[in-house]
Amino acid sequence: MLLPTKNEKENIKPMIKAIRKHCSYEIIVSDENSPDGTARIAKSLGVKVFPRKNRGYGSGVKESLENAKKLGHTHLLVTDCDRTYPVNYIKKLDKNTVAISIHNWDS
């Protein structure tokens, strides 16, 4: 489960807790060097945090595909950290049809 973040200090902890309530997927944070401590909070909750090399949401997703593949994952589910989308939908998703498949991802 990917959370691209930038200055999500207020949202990161409740979002991680909500995700964990609804699924057992590993959570990966792709943080855009947030000065507000977003990455520190995520790490304190046991989440893997990858600092983003490049700016922007798209870069966060692309870099996370590469990181997820290195971690041995074959799919990546992405959601916003600002709680725009309710995480209770996660259980209803079929990862084979809605997640980004990284089987053939070329870096």
Tens-digit pLDDT profile for residues 46-83? 999 999 888 888 888 888 888 888 888 887 888 888 87
d(CA 19, CA 43): 15
Lowest mean pLDDT among 35-44, 63-72, 82-91: 82-91
Going by their DSSP bridges, the two strands 28-31 and 100-101 should be labelled as unpaired
Contact predicate 69/42, CB 8 Å = no
0.75 exceeded by pTM: yes
The segment with the largest mean pLDDT, out of 34-48, 56-70, 92-106, is 34-48
